[in-house]
Amino acid sequence: MTMAKIIGGVATTHVPAIGKAIADGKENDPYWQPFFKGFDYVHDWLARTKPDVAVIFYNDHGLNFFLDKLPTFAVGAADEYRSEDEGWGIPVSRAAAGDPALSWHLINALVADEFDVTMCQNMLIDHAVTIPMALMWPTAAAAKASPAKPWPVKIVPVEINTVQHPLPSLKRCLKLGRSIGRAIDCYPQNLRVVVVATGGLSHQLDGARAGFINKEFDALCLDKIVAEPEALARYSIHDWVKESGSQGVEFLNWMAMRGALTGRVSELARNYHIPISNTAAATVVYDNQTDEARKAA
């Protein structure tokens, strides 16, 4: 029987200003070019690997969840995910099609693995999903006026609380990702799946350390996440905030993505650029070699 295949991972920053730069056509401006050029490789890789579905680990910023009701982990199980105006002055993105059958398969596997997730049959996606999608598939993003031409992938959004403490630990997010990776590996459909993480790297938007960026720590994270994610999983959230800033905890999404890469993982491309807005911007592509692929090679 043909099973779904995890082809690899893409991780990128999701700063709202990127959406405004796309809307204003500033991709080649000197300020933006070093960031956007990091996507040349991503576009080539996606054109070669042709994923059918993107499982996207991200954190909502108040569009779908707010502080009054905030799940630790939430998984989308909708036919379609719409966005809405978040107030950043960026155009509202086109809706993305869901894959509810895959969503329910993942939810069943997660709950069986003792992750008691919130199930969302109605879920709005914010800039943490729509900006990475626009960066990864710019032609589809630009085709907004033609609703007949959808995004080239269906999505399963997996939302992680990085906003209201207590946050889940890095270790817990790595395990969550592993549970999802195992579930994708045994999904009996011929699907090519890319796992996506959005957010980070180091940044702090408020308080006495507003503007804080830690280049050395970011480099350590990008090095360790490939072969030694457990080394990063040992950090407490408190220590992570100290090293990476109060919003640097968005790296929880990266940990979950890494967990979902169940094969032999290697870094195919990395672009690190500071700053975009107040944030250390990173775009990375990860290969996920499975036994099956190794045998075929």
Catalytic site includes residue 127:
yes
Distance CA 136, CA 92 (A): 17
CA–CA distance, 67 with 63 (Å, rounded to integer): 11
Residue 170 in contact with residue 251, Cβ under 8 Å? yes
Enclosing H/E stretch for 12: strand 5-12
Non-local (6+) Cβ contacts of 164 within 8 A are 67, 70
Q: Cα separation of 171 and 233, whole Å?
A: 4
Q: In whole angstroms, what is the distance from residue 128 CA to residue 80 CA? A: 16
Residue keyed to tokens 């969503």: 103
Which residues, other chains included, contact 147 with Cβ-Cβ below 8 Å and sequence gap of 6+?
94
Name 77's Cβ contacts closer than 8 Å, sequence gap at least 6.
98, 100, 103, 104, 107, 119, 120, 121
Q: Pick the catalytic residue: 14, 61, 105, 203?
A: 203
**Residue of 216, 222, 199, 228 whose CA lies nearest to 271:** 222
Of 14, 105, 127, 273, the catalytic one is 127
DSSP 249: G
Active site residue 203: yes
Q: Which residues does the annotation mark as catalytic? A: 127, 203
